[in-house]
Structure 1
Amino acid sequence: MGGDTWLSEYEACSRLGQDLMEQINERNKHARTSSAYTKLSAQIRSKTRQFTSDLNRLKQNLMRASASYHITQREVERRQGMMDVLVTKEKQIDEATRNEGSSRSLLLGHGGGGDTFSQADPWGMNDEPEVFRDMSNTDLQQQQQSVIHEQDRGLEALSHVVSRQKQMAIDIGNEVDDQNELLDDIGDHIDRTDNRVQRETRHIRIVDRKSAGCWYYVVIMLLFIAIVIIGVVPYNGKP
């Protein structure tokens, strides 16, 4: 894919991880009090930070490329598989720095450039955090259990919060349904009232028209009576 720098950055990150493992095995060949061991330890720490930074940048660039559809879904899945290889390598390097003095060792794979573990040589790592250096394996296990227990309590508290939020959402949904039913009832009452108002309005118009007709008849009768009176009165008044 022309113009795509992700693959070249991946290759550079992969070579850096390979160099780290080679230096770790090289350092383990020296005594822990030697200057060569100290020098290699400093280089390993620096390269480990660079490897982690490059790996995080690759992850972010892959997510951005996937979100913007610059690459196909199939290519995203392929690159994610490549990222998994680097993540595994990162875990191996991190494990090496956390298990100084254990009976395991890291050997470099030949032919495929892969990384395998062997029981032949000790790690002999000397760059673990200061807080862990004077702790026994039992103390480390107890601290790990304490951390796991704290995480479990945090997850349990989060679960309770999510459950309360879910219940609140259900209650709000039920209240909305009740309000919708009330609005439907009000709408029905308004429709019925409007129909009655229209019906009564038609009745009033009919009565009004009938009332106007009655007044016409009254006026006609009054005029008729006036004509009769006018015609009769002069006749009866002659000598």
Structure 2
Amino acid sequence: MALVNIEGIDPWLTEYDACEKLFREIMEQLTLREGEPKASKVYASLSANVRLRMKQYTREVQQLKNKVEEAFKLRTITFEEAERRARQVEQLQTFADGGTTSWAVDDDDNDDRPLDVQVSVSDIMNHQELVLREQDKGLEELCKVIARQKEIGQTISNEVDHQNEIIDDLADHMDRTDESLINKTQQVRHIHSKDRTCGYWIVIIILFIAIVVVALV
């Protein structure tokens, strides 16, 4: 399977998508074939086409499996990702193994001879159900992650609200402290002004007494 390595896109995922697309094409060909008489040329042509596609499908599934093992050995993917990809390949491999056995693919490559294809639509639907179940598991895990993120976000929001309340209380306390300082400052100034006036009167009285004493002498 030839691919162009586009930056930012994992080639393995691209190959996997292409393999699933090939699977859908085989299913479509099989569905069309079931509507044709077995002795007809259309039936024979569809059977030959299905056989060729099935060989390609089996080969590409094996390539996917090999690349997962190689990527894990080279540590280019994590163990969890390797395990997830291995499960995906196993689902594809189930259909490939069943097709190789029951589709009676011969080695003589006689594409003109009709094949007795034993794989039914129900087998294909079972494969699709496996794929859907795997996708559902992924969605469930994603929902759990989103739920945890939501809880963390709510906790952070509550903590921010609490901190805002503390800041508001501090601001109110600072305002009250400022008002108290202003009042105390005004009181000190008033008392200081009174102290200066009292000193003047004391000086005047002392001078008056001194004058009287001098006059008497």
Instruction: Specify the TM-score bucket, using the shorter chain as the normaliser.
Output: 0.5 to 0.7
Distance in 2 (CA, whole Å) between partners of 1:211 and 1:96 is 103
- Aligned AA for 1:127? R
Pairing partner for 1:102 from 5, 30, 40:
30
% identical aligned pairs = 34
- Which residue of 2 is the match for residue 166 of structure 1? 150
Partner deviation per Cα, 1:176-216 (whole Å, 9 max, x = no partner): 11211121111111111110110110011010000000000
- Which residue of 1 is the match for residue 166 of structure 2? 182
Name structure 1 gaps, 5 residues minimum: 1-44, 54-89, 106-118, 234-239
- Aligned AA for 1:102? L
Give the CA deviation at 1:143: 3.3
- Which residue of 2 is the match for residue 209 of structure 1? 193
TM-score (norm 2): 0.53
CA separation of 1:174/1:229 partners in 2, compared to 1, >3 Å: closer, same or farther? same
Distance in 2 (CA, whole Å) between partners of 1:192 and 1:100 is 80
- Which residue of 2 is the match for residue 194 of structure 1? 178
CA separation of 1:164/1:204 partners in 2, compared to 1, >3 Å: closer, same or farther? same
TM-score (norm 1): 0.48
Give the CA deviation at 1:225: 1.0
- Aligned AA for 1:168? I
Paired residue secondary structure (1:102): helix
Paired residue secondary structure (1:202): helix
- Which residue of 2 is the match for residue 81 of structure 1? none
- For 1:48-67, list aligned pairs within 5 A: none
Distance in 2 (CA, whole Å) between partners of 1:142 and 1:167 is 37
- For 1:1-239, list aligned pairs within 5 A: 94=22, 97-99=25-27, 102-104=30-32, 119=35, 121-122=42-43, 123-124=46-47, 125=49, 126-128=52-54, 129-130=57-58, 131=93, 132=96, 133-134=99-100, 136-137=119-120, 139-233=123-217
CA separation of 1:100/1:201 partners in 2, compared to 1, >3 Å: closer, same or farther? closer
**Using CA pairs below 8 Å that are at least 6 residues apart, which structure has the higher relative contact order?**
2
Is the radius of gyration larger for structure 1 or structure 2?
1
CA RMSD of aligned residues (A): 3.1
Partner deviation per Cα, 1:142-181 (whole Å, 9 max, x = no partner): 3332222121111111101101111211121122112111
Write out the 4+ residue segments of structure 1 that deviate beyond 3 Å after TM superposition: 93-97, 119-122, 135-143
Distance in 2 (CA, whole Å) between partners of 1:189 and 1:162 is 40
- Aligned AA for 1:184? D
